[in-house]
Amino acid sequence: MLGLMQRHELLISSIIQHAARHHGEAEVVSRRDDGRIVRTTYAALERRARKLMSVLRDLGVVFGDRVATLAMNSDRHLELYYAISGMGAICHTINPRLAPADIAFIVSHAEDGVLFVDACFAPLVAAIAPDLASVLRAVVVLAEPEDMKPLALPPGMALHCYETLLADARDEPDWPVFDENTASGLCYTSGTTGKPKGVLYSHRSSLLHAMAVIMPDVVNLRATTRVLPVVPMFHVNAWGLPYAAPMVGAALIMPGRHLDPVSLLGLMDGERVDLSVGVPTVWLALVTHMRQSGARFETLRRVMSGGAALPRVLVAAFSELGVEAAQGWGMTETSPVVTYNGPKPATATVDHEARLDHSVKQGRVLFGADVRVVGPDGGETPRDGKTQGDVSCRGHWIARGYFRLPESEIADDAWFPTGDVGVMDENGYLLLTDRAKDLIKSGGEWISSIELENIAVDHPDVAEAAAIASPDEKWGERPLLIVVPRAGHEPDPEDVRAFFSGKVANFAIPDRVIVAEELPHGATGKILKSELRKAYAPRD
Ligand code: ADP
């Protein structure tokens, strides 16, 4: 149609080009393995990412190839994000916390030809390399030449130094232009429900998701924001921040592998970080450290949490420290952010306690995605905050299927079943009650394990808690609670049980409370309930 608007492909490379042109001076700060802090800018990073495209081509990477990264958050990892996707290849981020056998499986499944790896993961690569001889051609260590260490690789698998390759590379003047529906990234689900499955993101989906994440009622990113993603770049693309921050010129502060509370606090204060993003287990450790040391945040004002339920008690603890904490919800298959708990007129005006109560909800739906809670009759449940159903979603950044699993393919407008169970309230806020596989059904009544856990961690002697279903002859299942003591405290099981009185229906009060030294966590920080069931509530 004549006179219509221009059409440009929604390409990931356009983000870093914009950042270089209009926020060229904005900083990317990274902490290296040895603790050193290095600084670069979006302008310099864009130049190196272009050069990196010619490195990739010289390594034999072509359009559509998968290129793996096994790396923590850093400027180099960010360059790789842009160079790999920018040349039309697929950036396959791998979680180094997975079992080595799982990593070998996904590298083989994805057929990654080249692997970029942080020096600290070299031993892991040495261990799995013999199983990958038929797939992997080259391993590139993200290091300076003087920091290179010998690494035994099978014959035919080359070892390279990242900075040497870049120093020797040709300049690449242009970013190629291609279809926005080209695959840009690949991330395998944690595999807590069977073999890991690959989710393939596109340029278009990643770009639209990042724009949605930036919005004021979501992460609210601005050119003046200094954001520290604790969430790793191998965990669903660090929830879109590596794209969202350069889009608006926000400074990115990359913690590398230094994720303990003391290091994080030092980096936050030293780099004037005002926003940080991560999973609840990280926040729990940080808040505990703040309490024990009496330290205060110098500049941190906001925290975004996701990946698991954010307990009320953590929001309250952050509030006492002058920090506003809010949660979003999603999964690898949903890029991941689908809902975020931003205020509405109906929720913004309520008092502090009511706001804390409201903060346990996973939030309302972002434009660009949609959510349905479906009851047993196949219809949407009423928005009453009570009627539970299966949560499904669809939208611009929701998976249509899994990589190389044709039988998983669904239609573009079909609802993707998330496996989560929840309720929707009258204001459109989703509250998750469980994963479908973790549901507790006692005498015909559903009991929310998330609600029990939220209450348990409010108990002064409890640091962390998990509720699971224990088989029961009379009731089918009964809730069993496993708690980890707060440092220096000794929770009394009867006292913890009594703590539930009046807070939930009597039938939902856990029959048994077990005190444990620690809870098993998966590769993305989630509590592994399957292991807890095996240990404490086996079904034979
Ligand atoms: P991710 O790697 O993003 O954590 P996974 O696909 O491994 O994604 O897990 C996604 C699951 O994590 C969701 O289906 C949900 O059960 C849980 N989850 C994510 N965010 C939240 C949240 N804010 N509250 C409760 N559960 C959450």
Which range among 175-179, 188-192, 253-257, 389-393 shows the weakest confidence by mean pLDDT?
Answer: 188-192
Residue with CA at minimum distance from ligand 1 atom 25: 309
Query: In this predicted model, what pLDDT tens digit does every residue of 2-20 receive, in sequence order?
Result: 899 999 999 999 999 999 9
Q: Give 535 Cα–ligand 1 centroid separation in angstroms.
A: 23
- Structural element, H or E, at residue 229: strand 226-229
Query: Closest ligand 1 atom, CA of 432?
Result: 25
pLDDT of residue 350: 77
Query: Of ligand 1's atoms, which has the minimum distance to the CA of residue 327?
Result: 23
Per-residue pLDDT, 258 = 98
pTM given for the model: 0.94
Q: What percent of the chain has pLDDT over 90?
A: 93
CB neighbourhood size of 58 (10 A):
12
Active site residue 407: no
Residue-level pLDDT at 523: 87
pLDDT of residue 195: 81
Evaluate if residue 63 carries a pLDDT over 90: yes
7 CA distance to ligand 1 middle (Å): 35
Q: Which residues contact 133 (CB under 8 A, 6 or more apart)?
A: 154, 155, 156, 157
pLDDT value at residue 191: 58
Q: With 60 as the cut, is the pLDDT of residue 192 above it? A: no
Q: Which atom of ligand 1 is nearest to the CA of 525?
A: 4
Specify the CATH superfamily of domain 258-436. ANL, N-terminal domain (3.40.50.12780)
Model pLDDT, residue 540 = 64
Q: How far is residue 478's CA from residue 111's CA, in Å, rounded to a whole number? A: 45
Residues with CB under 6 Å of ligand 1 are 189-190, 235-236, 306-309, 327, 329, 331-332, 336, 362, 418-420, 432, 435, 524
Of the candidate ranges 37-46, 263-272, 316-325, 529-538, the one whose mean pLDDT is the lowest: 529-538
* Range 235-259 average pLDDT: 98
333 catalytic? Reply is: yes
Q: 41, 182, 189, 381: which one is catalytic?
A: 189
Each residue of 304-347: pLDDT tens digit?
999 999 999 999 999 999 999 999 999 999 999 999 999 999 99
pLDDT for position 349: 77
Contacts by 42-47 with C-beta closer than 8 Å and gap 24+? 42/16, 42/246, 42/249, 45/16, 45/20, 45/75, 45/78, 45/79, 45/82, 46/16, 46/17, 46/19, 46/20, 46/82, 47/20
The CATH class for the domain spanning 13-23+38-189 reads alpha beta
Taking only the tens place, the pLDDT of each residue in 82-120 is 999 999 999 999 999 998 999 999 999 999 999 999 999
Decide if pLDDT at 26 tops 60: yes
To test the pocket of ligand 1, the residue of 106, 231, 526, 528 to mutate (highest count of ligand atoms within 8 Å of its CB) is 526
In the chain, where are the structural domains located? 13-23+38-189, 258-436, 441-536
Fold agreement (13-23+38-189, 258-436): yes
Closest residue by Cα to residue 509 from 461, 462, 455: 455
Q: Which atom of ligand 1 is nearest to the CA of 419?
A: 14
Residue 158 confidence (pLDDT) above 90: yes
- In this prediction, residue 155 carries a pLDDT of 95
Which residue has its alpha carbon closest to ligand 1 atom 27? 308
Q: Ligand 1 centroid vs 235 CA: distance in angstroms?
A: 11
The more confident residue out of 539 and 72 is 72
Q: What pLDDT is stored for residue 150 in this prediction?
A: 94
DSSP 464-521: EEEEEEEEETTTEEEEEEEEEEPTT----HHHHHHHTBTTB-GGGS-SEEEE-S---B
What is the number of the ligand 1 atom nearest to the C-alpha of 336? 3
**DSSP secondary structure, 23-66, as one string:** STT-EEEEE-TTS-EEEEEHHHHHHHHHHHHHHHHHTT--TT-E
374-423 per-position pLDDT tens digit: 999 999 999 999 999 999 999 999 999 999 999 999 999 999 999 999 99
- Cβ proximity of 16 and 42 under 8 Å: yes
What's the pLDDT band for 247 if we cut at 50, 70, 90? Answer: very high
CA–centroid distance, 327 to ligand 1, in Å, is 11
446 tagged catalytic: yes
CATH superfamily of 441-536: ANL, C-terminal domain (3.30.300.30)
State how beta strands 27-31 and 251-254 pair: parallel
With the most atoms of ligand 1 within 8 angstroms of its CB, the residue from 95, 331, 431 to mutate is 331
Q: What are phi and psi of 492, to 5 degrees?
A: -95, 120
- Mean pLDDT value of segment 126-143: 97
| 271 in active site | no
Per-residue pLDDT band at 539 (split at 50, 70, 90): confident
